[in-house]
Structure 1
Amino acid sequence: MNISQIRYFMAVVETGNFTKAAERANITQPSLSAGIKRLEEDLGAALFERGRGAALTPAGARFLPRARVMLQEWTAARRELRQARPARQRLRLGHMPGLPLRGLSSLLGGFAASQPDVALETLEAPPATLRRRLELGRLDAALLLLPDSAGDTALPLFRQRYRLVVPARHPLAHRASVRIAELHDQAFVIHPDAAVMPMSEQLFAQHNARPRIVGKAESDAALLALVEAGLGIAIVPHWLSHSEAVASLSLPELKLYHRIGLLWQGEPGPALSLLTAYAAGHTWSMAETPIGH
């Protein structure tokens, strides 16, 4: 006996018809009839007079009040247990564009699967927007470049280094490294708002190297696409430099790297504490350099 069979029985009693009862239960009439038959077998008594439509037998009439109680108890039990469930905790997480997609999706997907009671809401936006939303309390945390002053309100996750990428058939493609001075008058494509730009511009100025800017992009991924198309060369995060369509070179003078991790304000709430604990043990792909390595 199961609760569906009790529902089938009550549907027949209340509609007075097996066909209408099947429609109410949203099943076929043969399935409903089979369910009633199994219920009768479990009870050891016929509940309906065969050949007389939905007329109850004496045994069916005696079973009717008990069936009502069973359904009422089932409904009450479900309501009570659902009300006893803890409310889902809301976690609003921002992340900046250009993060390693495989590592990001693994982090967010793995956390969501491990914490079904946390309602995760995500927002991709420029770092300045994310920091502003953190200040206004519109985000609980953000995944972005960490300032040196973050202190106890940040969790570093990995280091982002930078590489020079050139088209596969570029004259420099066979090199393992290149000096800044050698890049004078080279055709460059740039992401003007990239975090690496201030340091790279300073290095080029120090070495009297003036690259020719032939293209601009609004993301590092778009920048890589321009290099793959042969338009120019570019400086990109190292995890983007593994494309088969480009060659990757180190820039010895560019010793810059950025820490990427979670940033929040004040004391983390329960949901954020769960995320930081999960993120601290998250394994990023080999394209990133975990903090501490």
Structure 2
Amino acid sequence: MRLDQLQSFLAVAETGSFQAAAQRCGVSQPTISRQIQALEDNLGIQLLHRSSRAKLTVAGDLFLRRAYRIWQEWQAASAELKAMQHGQQHELCIAAIHSICRHFLPTLLPRFHQSFPQMQLRVTALGSDRAVKVFQDGLVDLIIVMGDRYLFKQSEWVIEPLYSEPVQILMAAQHPLACHPTLTWEALAQYPHVVFKDGYGMRRLVAEEFARRNLPWQPALELNTPDAFIAVIRESDMLALLPRSALKDALDDDTLVIRHLDAKVAPPDRQVLAITTRDRLNLPPMAQLLTLIRQQASHESCFS
């Protein structure tokens, strides 16, 4: 069954005439007749009595109610798709790592809202692995995650590097290592660490750096938000290796200090990526959001 056949049937049922139906649909009367005949052949039953005035058969009357619903659903779907193409979809969902939700997105989302005031934004803070999973499942439109070699890429994905940032060491101001401006991995191996939970890219990065040097790593406490890291570090002799953006709240805290790894042994910078799909790039809201994200990323890069 084709939609033009359905449209012809509805037009004949409403007008009672093949000629009037042809005028309404903008086609010839023989075209209407062929479409009705094809529809009846497809369904295997006669829908209309052919007489001076076209009348519905019992089967035609039963089918009419269903036909109206199908046509209305098609029209609604078409309208929704056209609205989406013009940037009028109802919501846009983002999943991002915690430091992005805390410091990166708050400055740009109000500007996005000015361009699309009727759109609801849904932002969820997740670890990189979990964010990728919900993106694969089609539950979000865009993710901003930490890049690493374990990232499973698909052909329809568009992956855009945003910025890179160094990994730094957070500790209490009274920590024994606080007197050193730079530190070695050997020194870090002597103390317990606050770490991200499994599924976070930063945890993998830190674990790999210790393993690569054959040094013991002491993950003593698992957390998943920068705020929680800061609260625990302030009250303990634990250490935390965190990306620069996750340490912004600690910069003006006199009870904390931030130290660097010796440049000769520093781990690779953390790379932050934005990922969406090719089809979403054609939608005005996504195009605008990515423009704002690029602008903010350029600002972040200036401080890396």
Deviation of 1:284 after TM superposition, in Å, equals 6.8
Report deviation, 1:166.
1.5
- Is structure 2 residue 253 aligned with structure 1 residue 247? no
Letter in 2 for 1:289: S
TM-score by length of structure 1 reads 0.60
TM-score by length of 2: 0.58
Secondary structure of the 2:179 match is coil
How far, CA to CA, are the matches of 2:202 and 2:130 in structure 1? 19
Matched letter for residue 279 of structure 1 = I
The residue aligned with 1:259 is 271
In structure 2, give the amino acid aligned to 1:248: I
What SS does the aligned partner of 2:229 have? helix
How far did residue 217 of structure 1 move?
1.8
Partners in 1 of 2:234 and 2:247 — Cα distance? 11
Matched residue of 1:282: which SS? helix
- Which one has the bigger helix percentage? 2
How many residues are matched?
206
Percent identical residues: 16
Residues 1:236 and 2:242 aligned together: yes
Summarize the alignment of residues 10-89 of structure 1 with structure 2, pairs less than 5 Å apart: 88-89=88-89
In the TM superposition, residue 105 of structure 1 has moved relative to its aligned partner by: 0.6
Give 2:292's match in structure 1, choosing from 269, 278, 283: 278
How has the CA–CA distance of structure 1 residues 289 and 182 changed in structure 2, closer, same or farther, with 3 Å as cutoff?
A: same
Aligned match of 1:130: 131
CA 147–165 in structure 1, closer or farther in 2 if over 3 Å, else same: closer
Distance 1:284 1:114, change over 3 A: farther
**Which of 168, 173, 188 lines up with 2:173 in the alignment?**
168
AA partner of residue 274 (structure 1)? Q
Q: CA deviation at 1:235?
A: 0.7
Q: Distance in 2 between matches of 1:280 and 1:219?
A: 24
Q: What secondary structure, in the 3-state scheme, does the structure 1 residue paired with 2:93 have? A: strand
Q: C-alpha deviations, 1:224-243, integer Å up to 9, x for none?
A: 22111124111111123351
Counterpart Cα distance in 2 of 1:215 and 1:266: 40
Partner of 1:203: 209
In 2, distance between residues paired with 1:197 and 1:147? Answer: 11
Amino acid at match of 1:105: P
Q: Which runs of 4+ in 1 moved over 6 A?
A: none
The letter of the residue matching 1:101 is R
Counterpart of 2:110 in structure 1 is 109
- Residue deviations 1:40-81 (CA, integer Å, cap 9, x gap): xxxxxxxxxxxxxxxxxxxxxxxxxxxxxxxxxxxxxxxxxx
